[in-house]
Amino acid sequence: MCGIVGYVGPRDSQDILVSGLARLEYRGYDSAGIAVIDDGGSLAVRKRSGKLARLREALETDPIGRGTTGIGHTRWATHGGPTDQNAHPHLADDDRLAVIHNGIIENFASLRSELVGEGITFVSDTDTEVAAHLLARAYRESGDLVAAFRAVVDRLEGAFTLLAAHEDHPGLVVGARRNSPLVIGLGEGETFLGSDVAAFVEHTRRALAVGQDEIVAIRPGVVEVTDFAGNAVEPQPFEVSWDAAAADKGGWSSFMAKEVSEEPEAVANTVRGRIQDGEIRVPELEGLDDFFRGIDRVVVLACGTAYYSGLVGKYALEKWARIPVDVELAHEFRYREPIVSESTLVVSISQSGETMDTLMAVKEAARLGAKTLSICNTQGSTIPRESDAVVYTHAGPEVAVASTKAFVAQITALYLLALHVGRVRRSLPDEVSADATEQLAALPEKIQWILDNEQERTEQLAHWMADTRSVLFLGRHVGYPIALEGALKLKEISYIHAEGFAAGELKHGPIALIEPGQPVFVVVPSPRGSITMHQKVISNIEEIRARGARIIAIAEQGDSAVLPSADEVLRIPLASPLFEPLLAVVPLHIFAMGLATAKGLDVDQPRNLAKSVTVE
Ligand code: AGP
Answer whether residue 76 shows pLDDT above 90: no
CB-CB contact of 72 with 33 (8 Å) = yes
Query: With bands split at pLDDT 50, 70 and 90, how would you rate the model's confidence at 80?
Result: confident
- For ligand 1, the distance from its centroid to the CA atom of residue 615, given in whole angstroms, is 13
Per-residue pLDDT reduced to its tens digit, 182-221 = 999 999 999 999 998 889 999 999 999 999 999 999 999 9
Per-residue pLDDT reduced to its tens digit, 116-140 = 999 999 999 999 999 999 999 999 9
- Print burial letters for 558-572: b (CB count within 10 Å at least 16), e (below 16): ebebbeebbebbbbb
CB-CB contact of 212 with 386 (8 Å) = yes
Calpha distance 435→197 (Å, rounded):
38
| Of 55-59, 198-202, 246-250, the least confident | 246-250
Calpha distance 309→375 (Å, rounded):
11
Measured from the Cα of 410, ligand 1's closest atom is 14
Summarize the confidence of residues 445-461 as an average pLDDT.
97
In testing the pocket of ligand 1, which one of 1, 303, 309, 405 has its CB within 8 Å of the most ligand atoms? 303
Q: How many CB atoms are located within 10 Å of the residue 576 CB? A: 15
pLDDT for res 530: 81
CA atoms within 13 A on the CB side of 361: 32
Per-residue pLDDT reduced to its tens digit, 503-525 = 999 999 999 999 999 999 999 99
Calpha distance 116→232 (Å, rounded):
35
Going by CA atoms, what residue is nearest to atom 16 of ligand 1?
350
End-to-end CA distance of the chain: 11
Whole-Å CA distances, 285 to 60, 244, 291, 342: 52, 30, 10, 17
pLDDT for res 247: 66
Calpha distance 166→425 (Å, rounded):
57
Query: With bands split at pLDDT 50, 70 and 90, how would you rate the model's confidence at 228?
Result: very high
Instruction: Output the CA angle 240-242-248, nearest 5 degrees.
Output: 130
pLDDT for res 614: 85
E strand or H helix that includes residue 174:
strand 173-178
Calpha distance 264→447 (Å, rounded):
6
Taken in order 54, 64, 224, 176, the sign of the CA dihedral is: negative
Calpha distance 329→357 (Å, rounded):
9
Question: Contacts by 449-457 with C-beta closer than 8 Å and gap 24+?
Answer: 449/573, 450/571, 450/572, 450/573, 450/583, 450/586, 450/587, 451/260, 451/261, 451/263, 451/264, 451/586, 451/590, 453/571, 454/570, 454/571, 454/572, 454/586, 454/587, 454/590, 455/590, 457/570
Partners of 91 in the beta sheet? 98
CB-CB contact of 2 with 615 (8 Å) = no
pLDDT for res 493: 98
Summarize the confidence of residues 561-590 as an average pLDDT.
96
Measured from the Cα of 492, ligand 1's closest atom is 2
Residues designated catalytic: 2, 611
- Residues 6 or more apart from 178 whose CB is under 8 A from it? 103, 153, 156, 159, 160, 212, 213
Partners of 90 in the beta sheet? 99
To the nearest 10 degrees (0 to 180), the angle between helices 108-117 and 128-142 is 50
- The dihedral region occupied by 474, where left means phi > 0, alpha psi between -120 and 50, and beta the remainder, is beta
Answer whether residue 246 shows pLDDT above 70: no
pLDDT for res 286: 87
- For ligand 1, the distance from its centroid to the CA atom of residue 403, given in whole angstroms, is 6
CB-CB contact of 37 with 170 (8 Å) = yes
Measured from the Cα of 404, ligand 1's closest atom is 2
CB-CB contact of 322 with 424 (8 Å) = no
pLDDT for res 276: 79
Query: With bands split at pLDDT 50, 70 and 90, how would you rate the model's confidence at 103?
Result: confident
Partners of 218 in the beta sheet? 173, 223
Answer whether residue 179 shows pLDDT above 80: no
Going by CA atoms, what residue is nearest to atom 10 of ligand 1?
304
Give ligand 1 pocket residues (Cβ under 6 A): 303-306, 350-352, 355, 358, 401-403, 492, 612-613
Going by CA atoms, what residue is nearest to atom 9 of ligand 1?
304
Mean pLDDT of the chain: 94
CB-CB contact of 473 with 483 (8 Å) = yes
Measured from the Cα of 355, ligand 1's closest atom is 16
pLDDT for res 124: 94
pLDDT for res 490: 98
| Of 122-136, 242-256, 330-344, 493-507, the least confident | 242-256
Q: Which of 425, 418, 433, 415 is nearest to 292 (CA)?
A: 425
Read off the pTM. Answer: 0.75
CB-CB contact of 6 with 195 (8 Å) = no
Per-residue pLDDT reduced to its tens digit, 341-378 = 999 999 999 999 999 999 999 999 999 999 999 999 98
Calpha distance 363→12 (Å, rounded):
40
- For ligand 1, the distance from its centroid to the CA atom of residue 11, given in whole angstroms, is 36
Per-residue pLDDT reduced to its tens digit, 536-563 = 999 999 999 999 999 999 999 999 999 9
pLDDT for res 570: 98
- The dihedral region occupied by 285, where left means phi > 0, alpha psi between -120 and 50, and beta the remainder, is alpha
In testing the pocket of ligand 1, which one of 403, 405, 407, 494 has its CB within 8 Å of the most ligand atoms? 403
| Of 158-162, 168-172, 260-264, the least confident | 158-162
| Of 76-80, 361-365, 461-465, 529-533, the least confident | 76-80
Quickly count helices (H) and strands (E) in the chain: 18, 26
